[in-house]
Amino acid sequence: MKSTGAYAKGPRIVIVGCGFGGICLAIKLRAAGLRHFTILERARGIGGVWRDNAYPGAACDVPSRLYSFSFEQTFDWSHRYGRQAEILAYLRHCVDKYALCEHIRFGVEVTGARFSADGGRCWQVDTAGGERFDADILVSAAGLFNRPRLPDIPGIDRFAGDHFHSAVWRHDCPLQHRTVAVIGTGASAIQFVPEIARQAKRLDVYQSSCQYVFPKRDPEKSTTVFPHSFAQKLSARLERLREFLEFEIGIPRRRSELLTRRGERRFHKHLNKSVADPGLREKLTPSFRLGCKRVLISNDWYPALQRPNVSLVDTPIERITGDGVQTRDGALRPAEVIVFSTGFTPSDFLAPMTLTGLDGRKIDDAWRRAGAEAYLGVTLQGFPNFFMLYGPNTNVAGSVIFMLECQANYIVACISALRRSGARLMQVRESAQARHNRRVQRRMHATLLVDPGCNSYYKNAAGKVVTQWPGFMSTYKRKTARVRRGDYRFWR
């Protein structure tokens, strides 16, 4: 159907963020013939979380064939799981291949955006440098893991040595032959601790909660002589399908007592085989059920904790002093360097950006009562022509890249529906958004994700799971396969 109305020549689109989400949407827009878009990136380079998290040993815990775009599978990965530098190289490859450079503005940090139906514009986007952008359609691709979180520990600002968060790694800070303290034992720590354990004179790892850690099947791949051959393309597709099915088959475990117990038995067998000391094994045995937190994979974590220069400390931290870390039992362990591996603030969607929608409604007010939620995690009632990538309840026990592709396709379909309608504005109906989120939370409460004895980044401060998708990736793809026009209001 031929486009009519205000956007017949194509709307002005602003995308905030140039990581996987922003790049994916940009490629989809160009494929749909929509070229009037700009990506605003606060940093000086692309990549988002894979640009920022350059700590030693940084790698993905989802296989590369699945943690990449379905339409761009010719990249030669050196291992089953991509390393940080390779993932960044993949994104640069995509930007170059799909001619996105002309659309990207680097060093432009978005501080807020305000909806206005006056003067022929929809969104006025403000930046830290004072520059303003007008957009008919605004998309946030800021992601969940872009704001490192420091722990609330007394004395943290009094430490006299070097200290930094793992997401802003100080490569200029030498660790060789020094006493190092690592605070936190999450997904980042299990990757960099084995690396720095080989360098440090002494390494104390402070654990507030242990994790379920399984072996990592990460074979090195041989170099492909003809990466663009039909056989290689077919092999990549089949490998991706196999990886996809493995994750889909594993998802029901969060709802099945039988499958959960099987997984827990597998974990304990692995732990008993990997750690000889019963005291250390006890420290590394989770008190919560498998599946209510992120499951980790590593072949190096347990060996690293058994090195003679490494200690795992599970006594709570009392304070940080000028020259070390003091625990509640009164012990003071000296440290020359502290590395914080204390995660991010994923439930604070869009922060620190201030978003103001219809009638001056702010995003914080919209989410104050029930917590962050959106229709399909993509669009939000009261905020016309605004879309999100990696929005509420779209993180998954699988590949977020798959989810981002679904969302990018859906956003392009929404833009097409808007143009065909001849209208200038569209927003999801409150009833549709409420109905969708009731279903999400109903399914969520049938899983281990809501276990009250388990604290995770999946939940907000009130204990509501606001980050995770409770079902299959294939279900999400089906739900985002088309735009249900009745769930939206279109107007001029």
| pTM of the full structure | 0.94
What is the Cα 36 distance to its own chain's centre?
27
Residue pLDDT, tens place only, 52-65: 999 999 999 999 99
Which residue in 49, 53, 77 sits closest to 65, CA to CA?
Answer: 77
Residues spanned by CATH 3.50.50.60 within the chain? 8-147+345-491, 156-217+244-340
Q: Supply the CATH classification number for the domain 8-147+345-491.
A: 3.50.50.60
Which residue in 425, 347, 419, 412 sits closest to 378, CA to CA?
Answer: 412
Q: What is the pLDDT of residue 5?
A: 61
Distance CA 185, CA 228 (A): 40
Name the token pair of 240: 């991706």
Question: Does the pLDDT at position 228 exceed 80?
Answer: no
DSSP 386: E
Edge-first strand listing for the sheet containing 110-115: 132-135, 123-127, 110-115, 354-356
Q: Which letter, b or e, does each residue of 137-168 get, where b requires 16 or more Cβ atoms within 10 Å of its Cβ?
A: bbbbbbbbbbebbebebeebeebebbbbbbbe
Q: What is the pLDDT of residue 1?
A: 40
Per-residue confidence band for 6, with pLDDT thresholds at 50, 70 and 90: low
Q: What is the pLDDT of residue 78?
A: 93
Question: Does the pLDDT at position 294 exceed 50?
Answer: yes
Helix (H) or strand (E) holding 95: helix 84-97
Distance CA 113, CA 385 (A): 12
Residue pLDDT, tens place only, 153-199: 999 999 999 999 999 999 999 999 999 999 999 999 999 999 999 99
Question: Does the pLDDT at position 396 exceed 70?
Answer: yes
Residue pLDDT, tens place only, 239-291: 999 999 999 988 877 888 999 999 999 999 999 999 999 999 999 999 999 99
Q: What is the pLDDT of residue 383?
A: 96
Residue whose tokens read 């030693």: 56
Question: Does the pLDDT at position 410 exceed 50?
Answer: yes
In the chain, pLDDT over 70 holds for what percent of residues?
96
Per-residue confidence band for 225, with pLDDT thresholds at 50, 70 and 90: very low
Distance CA 123, CA 135 (A): 5
Name the token pair of 490: 């279109």
CATH level 3 topology of 156-217+244-340: FAD/NAD(P)-binding domain (3.50.50)
Q: What is the pLDDT of residue 117?
A: 77
